């Protein structure tokens, strides 16, 4: 059920299980993909976000939107984001990537060029691996 509480996190439901959205005072700080069971979800939360100050009130709309997204609906994500410990360049990568539309893809090199550092394709790849808010920042569109 979308919007269930789990120790300060907003939980969303999909056909693949339950996931969670994490909000800090600054905005959306993390998305946890659906897990097979509640124990796995709690372990993922504990492993990644145990030291974050949570603000669960910000996430009710997002968890509903994530549930619809994972159930095949086309949705838009317009949220204040908290990239945590990301570098300035990683933040620029994430902000640039938010403008890539449904059905579009680009390469690591193309994204590096868009961010003004054409030789930084490897850094783009590393940033994609560390993306704290997948789906909202669509790293799955970078090849």
In angstroms, the CA 3 to CA 14 distance is: 12
44 and 58 Cβ atoms separated by less than 8 Å = no
Active site includes 91? no
123's CB contacts (< 8 A; 6+ apart) are 89, 90, 93, 112, 117
Pairing outcome for strands 4-6 and 9-14: antiparallel
131 and 91 Cβ atoms separated by less than 8 Å = no
Residues identified as active-site: 139
């Amino acid at each position: 059920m979308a919007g269930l509480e789990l120790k300060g996190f907003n939980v969303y439901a999909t056909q693949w299980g339950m996931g969670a959205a994490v909000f800090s005072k600054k905005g959306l700080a993390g998305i946890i993909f659906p897990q097979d069971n509640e124990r796995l979800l709690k372990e993922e939360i504990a492993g990644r976000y145990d030291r974050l100050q949570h603000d669960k009130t910000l996430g009710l709309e997002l968890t509903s939107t994530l549930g619809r997204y994972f159930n095949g609906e086309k949705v838009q994500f317009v949220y204040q984001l908290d990239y945590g410990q990301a570098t300035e360049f990683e933040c620029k990568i994430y902000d640039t990537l938010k403008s890539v539309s449904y059905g579009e893809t680009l390469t690591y090199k193309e994204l590096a060029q868009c961010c003004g550092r054409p030789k930084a394709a490897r850094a783009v790849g590393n940033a994609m691996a560390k993306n704290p808010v997948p789906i909202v920042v669509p790293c799955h569109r970078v090849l």
